[in-house]
Amino acid sequence: MSAVTDTAPAATPAARFGQSVRDSLVVAQRNLIRMTRIPEMVIFGLIQPIMFVVLFSYVFGGSLQVGGTTDPSVYREFLMAGIFAQTVTFATAGAGAGIADDMHKGLIDRFRSLPMARGAVLTGRTLADLVQTALTLFVLAMVALLVGWRTHTSIGEVLGAFGLLLLFGYAFTWVGALIGLSVRTPEAATSGGLIWLFPVTFVSTAFVDSGKMTPWLGHVADWNPFSATVQACRRLFGNPGGSPSDAWPMQHPVWASLIYSVVIILIFRTLAVRKYRSAAA
C-alpha cells in the first residue's frame, strides 16, 4: 500500500509579485493611519522647510547674485528648486527613525510570524513616506507662491519637476531604510540620517552656482546627484538656473536626475532588503 501525499503547487512569479504588492499596500496603509493619529509628525516635518524658505528668501535674498543681479525676487525663484529638493531628501531621517523604532519595539518579529513578503515591510514604509513627502511638497509650494516664487513653463513641465522630486525623495527613503536597519535606536537613526545630508545638500548648486566655489569643490557639486535634480527642476519650472558648468549632469539634468534616482533605488533597496532578511533571520 503506497501513501499519497499532496503538495501545494509552487507560487508562480506573477502570484508572488501580486502578493508582494498587496502586502506592501497593507503596510503602507498601516503607516499612513499611524501618521494621522500622530499629526505632530506631519506638522514638525512642515516647519523646517518653511523656515528655510523664509530665512533664505529674506535674509540672503538681497545679498546673493544670480544671473548678474542681486534682485531678491530672482534669487527666490533660483532658490526654490533647492529648497524643494532639500525637503524631499531630509525625509531620509524620518524614514530611518521610523524603521528603527519598529525594530526597537519588536514589530519586525511580529511581521515575521505572518505569511507576507519579506520586502513588503520596507516597501510599504517607503510608500507611506512618499505620501507624506508629497503632502509636504504641496504645502511648501503654497508657501513659496506667497513669498513670490513663480513658474514660467507649462503645467506638464511643472508636474514633471515635482515628479522628479518625488522620485528622488523616494530613492533617499531607501537610504534611510538601510540606516534604520543598521542602528539600534530611533535617535541614532535620526542622527545618522541627517549628518551626511548637510554636505550633500550644501555642496551643490542648490543655493549658489558651482562656479563661485573652489574649483575642486565646484566639480564635486556639478556631479552631485542632488545638484542634477535641482538643476532639472529649475529648467522644468523655467526658473533662473545661474551659470551651469559644462559637466554632463548640468547640461542634461533631467536625464541625470532620473538615472541617479533609479541607481540609488536599485542599490539601496537591494541592500536594505538583504539587511532586513538577515536581521529577521
Distance in Å from the first CA to the final CA of the chain: 41
Categorize the per-residue pLDDT at 170 as very low, low, confident or very high, splitting at 50, 70 and 90: very high
- 204 within some domain: yes
The predicted structure's pLDDT at residue 62: 60
Handedness of CA 111, 116, 118, 124 (dihedral sign): negative
- 239 within some domain: yes
- 28 within some domain: no
Residue type, 233: C
The predicted structure's pLDDT at residue 243: 77
Rounded Cα gap, residues 258 and 252, in angstroms: 10
Q: What is the mean pLDDT of residues 63-69?
A: 63
Percentage of the chain exceeding pLDDT 70: 85
Res. 9: pLDDT tops 60: no
* Residue 107 CA, distance from chain mean position: 24
- 274 within some domain: yes
Rounded Cα gap, residues 80 and 155, in angstroms: 17
Rounded Cα gap, residues 172 and 168, in angstroms: 6
* CB-based burial, 12-24: b 16+ in 10 Å, e otherwise: eeeeeeeebeebb
pLDDT, tens digit, for every residue of 33-47? 877 777 777 777 778
pLDDT, tens digit, for every residue of 221-264? 999 999 999 999 999 999 877 777 889 999 999 999 999 999 99
Rounded Cα gap, residues 125 and 30, in angstroms: 9
- 264 within some domain: yes
pLDDT, tens digit, for every residue of 201-216? 989 988 888 888 889 9
- 268 within some domain: yes
Number of domains observed in the structure of the chain: 1
Give CB contacts under 8 A, 24+ apart, made by 135-139: 135/42, 136/42, 136/45, 136/46, 136/49, 136/87, 136/91, 137/84, 137/87, 137/88, 137/162, 137/165, 137/166, 139/46, 139/50
Q: What is the mean pLDDT of residues 69-84?
A: 80
Rounded Cα gap, residues 135 and 137, in angstroms: 5
Range of the domain at 140: 33-279
Rounded Cα gap, residues 33 and 150, in angstroms: 34
Q: What is the mean pLDDT of residues 142-149?
A: 87
Rounded Cα gap, residues 153 and 214, in angstroms: 33
Rounded Cα gap, residues 85 and 232, in angstroms: 11
- 88 within some domain: yes
Mean pLDDT check: name the lowest of 61-75, 111-125, 234-248: 61-75
Res. 70: pLDDT tops 70: no
- 251 within some domain: yes
Rounded Cα gap, residues 140 and 53, in angstroms: 8
Q: What is the mean pLDDT of residues 87-96?
A: 84
